[in-house]
Amino acid sequence: MKGEIDRNRLPKHIAIIMDGNGRWAAKRAMPRFFGHKAGMEAIREVLRACSDIGVKILTVYAFSTENWNRPTDEVSYLMNLLIEYMHKEINELNKNNVKVKILGDLSPLPPTAVEEIEKAIELTHNNTGIQFNIALNYGSRAELISACRNIAKEVRDGKITVEDINEELISNSLFTEGDYDPDLVIRTSGEKRLSNFLLWQSAYSELVFADVMWPDFGKEELMDAILEYQSRDRRFGKIK
Ligand code: IPE
Ligand code: IPE
Ligand code: MG
């Protein structure tokens, strides 16, 4: 670690683009699946570390609306992995007072996956510890389209007027409704793009790009990312 983090200036919400599972596996001459499995294992340590230091929300990008365009065997592997993760981790999550929330449209997911997810949401519903958002079949553009449609319907039905459309209303029409915007967005694997992740919500997020592949990202790398975050000057358009 590159220093001590300041506990009084922690990001309340950290969002992570967990990228590089395939390359992690390829470097080991293993199939991509192997990397996804290792990637799933990596979540535990990072969630635990966030919870321990007092981060309020951790969001992870697990599957994008574009990831359906991968070969079908990879997509079904990822879906099965998700079912396995939910099934295996749910009691531990609940014991640790974690509250699970999903960002994304679950309707195209396999029914068993939806079942496991709904069980997890239900079980952890009243938990008061860290909120764990899993972005699943998530894409910012799809999210914004759906928000626009819902708002348009409300205007059409006379429930609100055009003038009622403001930042708050739009924020409350997104999957992240009620959450703080992410203070810190981390992407692993050295890629420097958002790939359709939290475009509205990250308007003023600090972006940190870590070179390690996701399966190698652990507590130490998380602390380094927080240190980097704390070294930034967040001006929000103002001047000092
Ligand atoms: C991230 O790793 C996990 C998902 C997108 C589901 P990748 O599968 O994108 O791994 P790389 O980027 O090909 O190495
Ligand atoms: C972003 O990673 C999506 C997830 C981490 C779930 P991708 O690997 O799909 O993104 P691109 O294709 O490199 O932009
Ligand atoms: Mg990738």
Q: How far is the CA of 61 from the centre of ligand 3 (A)?
A: 11
User: Best substitution site from 17, 64, 82, 187 to test ligand 2's pocket, by max atoms within 8 Å of Cβ?
Assistant: 64
Taking 70 as the pLDDT cut, the residues of the chain under it are 1
List the catalytic residues.
19, 67
What is the spatial distance between Cα 213 and Cα 93, in angstroms, rounded to a whole number? Answer: 24
Atom 6 (ligand 1): residue with closest C-alpha? Answer: 63
pTM of the model: 0.98
Write the pLDDT tens digit of every residue in 142-172. 999 999 999 999 999 999 999 999 999 999 9
217 ligand 1 Cβ < 6 A: no
Ligand 2 atom nearest 17 alpha carbon: 5
Orientation of helix 111-124 relative to helix 72-95, angle to 10°:
20
For the CA atoms of 67, 69, 73, 79, what is the dihedral angle to 10 degrees?
30
CATH superfamily of 8-139+181-231: Decaprenyl diphosphate synthase-like (3.40.1180.10)
Are the CB atoms for 62 and 82 separated by under 8 Å?
yes
Are the CB atoms for 63 and 55 separated by under 8 Å?
no
Burial of 2 (0-12, 13-18, 19+ CB in 10 A): exposed
Write the pLDDT tens digit of every residue in 119-135. 999 999 999 999 999 99
What is the spatial distance between Cα 54 and Cα 238, in angstroms, rounded to a whole number? Answer: 28
